[in-house]
Amino acid sequence: MLSAMELAKKEGADIVELCIASMSFSHISEVERLFTLRTLPSILSFGPDYLKKPCRRYSEKTRLEILKRAVELDLEFVEIHHQVCSKELIDELKRQRSKTRIIVSNHVYKGDFTREKLADLIIDMQSTDADIIKLVIDVKSITDVAPLFHMLTHCQVPLIARAMGERGLISQLLGPKYGASMIFGSLGAKFIPGLPPLVSIKHVYKLENMNSDTKIFGVVSNPVGHSKGPLLHNPAFRHTGYNGIYVPLLVDDINEFFRVYSCNDFAGFSVGIPHKETAVSCCDEVHPLALSIGAVNTIVRRPMDGKLVGYNTDCEACITAIEDAFRERFVRNGEALHVSPIAGKLFVLVGAGGAGRAIAFGARSRGARVVIFNRNFERAKALAMAVSGEALPYESLNDFRAEKGMILANASAVGMEPNTDQTPVSKVALKSYELVFDAVYTPRNTRLLQEAAEVGATVVSGVEMFIRQALGQFKLFTGGLAPEDFMRKIVLEQF
């Protein structure tokens, strides 16, 4: 515990929680030694599942002794579960203390709460005369977190609020905006669902800068852990002096998400897998390009009326990245180019989802001949019809070598972390392509791109598309110019 405390101090923690249930000790003096040697302000706790799984290492009597010794030794905080807390115990601890603050906590499990029930519980917890109350809830959906924000803004005493699991992450990242008295993070390389790493709290999100006026942006996706958006948009907000935060939003039902988070504080969204097409119907207005594509990757809430307006920045981001790679080669060869370098070329697209639709419409707009492969052949046929292209069975992709000098664009998730050993097209088949683009940007250099480069094709990373679409999104989010050089530098250094 002391070693972990030193790491927490190094990573920038203000306070640590000492979960005694996790500690082996033969005598209470060992716990006292821990209190005495602490190097950071500390919270004594007995773990979130104390009542469900009481610690067999010590008795209830020992637990009360530890609690009282912590107060006598001026530990900064002690935590008591609401169900074993009495007014008499609180009064006794308050008489003994000189500076210790008392936290009364409760853990509400899945499907066992409504906003009204949480409000009644908080009123009951406030009646204990605790200095701080702590509420932990298990959530099934990201929309279950919304009542916590409501409680934070209306609670009469300092409130610590935490939603467990990946879908509860925003309870910590957005807590300070709504008045949370503390937020929790994970330490070192340890991954705990629902807890942001302490390093990211301090260096990516810089939550100490957040206030009630901070505008909320985020990436709506499932999965969402791969997204690099927070690494890019948060520093860009700070660089331009814009009071905003950009967070990962693990969303299962996008319609329900927008129904629940409907206030102007939730100002803009990147839309990722698998919601880009469904998101069109969530918008009050859709930009003509996005409407023709049938997919949006950016949604902005218009401040004047709160309406959701959908855009697509994927289309131009991908196509201009491919065009510029061609132009760079033509310039090196001393050739002039007055039309799009993809005009008239056979453009082979893998994937017919939201990103695939954007790329297909972009390629068609430049005069390319589009051929689409997708595991769901009906989706491939529908997209091919929309762009006057051709759809072929996915199983025939590796055998498709209609001509030399084709363009290949992967808009599927094949090759994305953690499945980095996968590729949509064999190395032998790649010899027919002049240029290969991969929309996957985690990892930056996918197996597809590595093998394409080995057979002599020009390669374009999804990182380039990511930068360009993010620049477009940032302009829409802030209503101002994006710091292009700054954002490009961040991506190329950190991705």
- Both tokens of 203, joined, read 């260096």
Pairing of strands 298-301, 308-311: antiparallel
Burial 68-100 (b: 16+ CB within 10 A, else e): bbbbeeebbbbbbbbeebeeebbeebeeebeeb
Does residue 107 carry a catalytic annotation?
yes
Element (H, E) at 9: helix 2-11
Residue with tokens 């102007």: 264
Alpha helices in 225-342 (DSSP H): 229-240, 254-260, 279-282, 288-293, 314-332
Active-site annotation holder among 138, 144, 314, 438: 314
Active-site annotation holder among 82, 107, 226, 228: 107
Helix (H, G, I), strand (E, B), or coil: what is residue 105? strand
The answer to whether the beta carbons of residues 90 and 102 sit under 8 Å apart is: yes
CA 251 from centre of chain: 10
Residues in CB range of 494: below 8 A, 6 or more apart:
228, 231
Say how far apart CA 94 and CA 380 lie, in whole Å: 69
Active-site annotation holder among 134, 215, 233, 275: 134
Amino acid at 74: D
Amino acid at 412: S
The answer to whether the beta carbons of residues 155 and 122 sit under 8 Å apart is: yes
Active-site annotation holder among 177, 226, 275, 276: 276
Q: What is the DSSP letter of 24?
A: -
Sign of CA dihedral 214, 218, 224, 227: negative
Does residue 134 carry a catalytic annotation?
yes
Helices 28-37 and 60-72: crossing angle, nearest 10°? 30
The answer to whether the beta carbons of residues 308 and 301 sit under 8 Å apart is: yes
| Residue in 222, 230, 320 with CA at minimum distance from that of residue 279 | 222
Residue with tokens 């620049």: 471
Say how far apart CA 216 and CA 447 lie, in whole Å: 35
CB neighbours (10 Å) of residue 435? 22
Distances (CA, A) of 233 to 30, 185, 401, 432, 484: 46, 21, 41, 38, 12
Sign of CA dihedral 441, 447, 453, 456: negative
| Residue in 239, 240, 258 with CA at minimum distance from that of residue 249 | 258
List 134's β-bridge partners, or say none: 105, 160
Helix (H, G, I), strand (E, B), or coil: what is residue 331? helix
Amino acid at 76: E
Alpha helices in 333-446 (DSSP H): 354-365, 377-386
Task: Cite the active site residues.
Answer: 107, 134, 276, 314
